[in-house]
Homo-oligomer: A and B are copies of this chain.
Amino acid sequence: MAKQTPRTLSGFMELLPAPQRQMERIMEILRETYSLYGFTPLDTPVIESSEVLLAKGGGETEKQIYRFQKGEADLSLRFDLTVPLAKYVALHYNDLTFPFRRFQIGKVYRGERAQRGRFREFYQADIDVIGDGRLSVFNEAEIPAIIYRTFSALGLKRFLIRVNNRKILNGFYAMLNLSERSQDIMRTVDKLDKIGPEKVEAILTGDLGVSREQALEILSFISINGENEAVLARLETWQGRNETFDCGLAELKTVVKHLGGFGVPAENFAVDLTIARGLDYYTGTVYETVLLDHPEIGSVCSGGRYDNLAEYYTDKQLPGVGISIGLTRLFYVLGEQGMLNPELPTAPADVLILPMTEDLSAAIAFATELRDNGVRTQLHCEEKKFKQKISYADKLGIPYVVFLGEDEIRAGVVACKDMATGEQTKLDSKATIYRIKAGLDARNRGFVIKG
């Protein structure tokens, strides 16, 4: 029979079992941490009607969208989790209670040019808080706490949550009478890290027609940095000249003020006036999160405050604040950088039982007892040599191997080998399970990411 060569599409991540276990761990930690902040899990279809999904129309992403006909229907695969959320909230508005806090971890699709570390199918892990009509700035203040707990729970230490407020930027440009050009200016300023101040100035005074004086004030403004209190003090010198600016500064102060109470250490947080986030719809606090030892990979968790989640679907004013982790890309980078903790078990089972007698009753009974105690157990009953079975445990990294021969069964004990130390015990089943569980606890204690 002619064979079809098996392959996986390029740009689609397909992990081997051991890294997949690590990925599952990360997703579990995200689910747990998001839940601790009162976010409820949500799941929406991968496919939506194109007219619904693309209601906003146009934009950079449209070319990348997986769009196709099925029968009469014009369908598209979701390209983020925000548009489906907007649809969900508008559609189910009457059944939801606001503020509505949801998290969603799901695959999204963008037919980008395939390149190393870029994926066409990738997980996003989003949280959003949606208000009905209004939403307190307090929600913006809580976001850094969530980011901090999430990355800490993963094991990261050297990361920085950078925060800015769009109102400060908008107000500042209004003071300079540059409001109409502020979007373009911010897009340019956003590139400061990449292209440097000279090129930024050149673009500002060139294409954007900003005076040299204004350009210097813009550069001086965005170069404000240092301790949070010092930055806030510098910003206060502009206070009283523009209402939007003052409002943004007050919001930023609220965000900074609560950090301590939320347990976010000063070294993991910085006010940074250079970040604006590309998207137009952010209106208040904006967030980026960088790994301090890997700034080259950019932000691994971004988001911000917006005033109108679902304007394409409803007249309701639905302000919100949210963040998104590009999980697939993050996982890829962590792997590339050797940051995934290899000490954590990735075996499919905790215990491999090798029955040494024809009658399997004792082996099955012990397997059932282990499983009743939450220990992941595999019985190896294939017709293989003893050595091959040991090698099976070895290759998969199964930490314990149990032998049940006639002698053990007669004596009412279980022979159990710790594959890491080679130590072998012969204890009754209860004591064996106790020992195994203690050993597993110790093995699972580490973080998934090497901070």
Contact = CB atoms under 8 A, between A and B. Distances in A.
B40 A348 contact: yes
Contacts of A97: 392, 395-396
A88 B348 contact: no
A224 interface: no
Interface in A216-246: none
A43 interface: yes
A26 interface: no
B51 A4 contact: yes
B312 A4 contact: yes
B4 A99 contact: no
B262 A376 contact: no
Contact of A8 (B42, B91, B131, B382): B91
A117 interface: no
B21 A40 contact: yes
Contact of A9 (B49, B68, B135): B49
A88 B14 contact: yes
Interface string A234-263: 000000000000000000000000100111
Copies in the complex: 2
A9 B49 CA distance: 7
Contacts of A280: none
A444 interface: no
Given A258-B364, A360-B138, A9 B48 contact: yes
Interface stretch (A30-38, A198-206, A403-411): A30-38
Contact of A6 (B52, B69, B135): B52
Contact of A262 (B262, B314, B364, B378): B364
Contact of A261 (B3, B364, B378): B364
Contact of A71 (B17, B96, B111): B111
Nearest to A16: B95
Interface string A109-124: 1010000000001000
Interface residues of A, number: 100
Interface in A105-161: 107, 109, 111, 121, 131, 134-136, 138-139, 142, 145, 149
A96 B20 CA distance: 13
A131 to B, nearest CB: 7
Contact of A5 (B13, B38, B313, B381): B313
Interface in A358-391: 360-361, 364-365, 368, 371, 374-379, 381-383
B313 A6 contact: yes
A289 B9 CA distance: 35
Contacts of A24: 41
A333 interface: no
A447 interface: no
Contacts of A37: 371, 376-378
A47 interface: yes
A315 interface: yes
A417 interface: no
A39 interface: yes
14 contacts: A3-B312, A3-B313, A6-B52, A6-B86, A6-B90, A8-B45, A9-B73, A12-B45, A13-B45, A40-B348, A47-B121, A71-B111, A99-B382, A145-B368
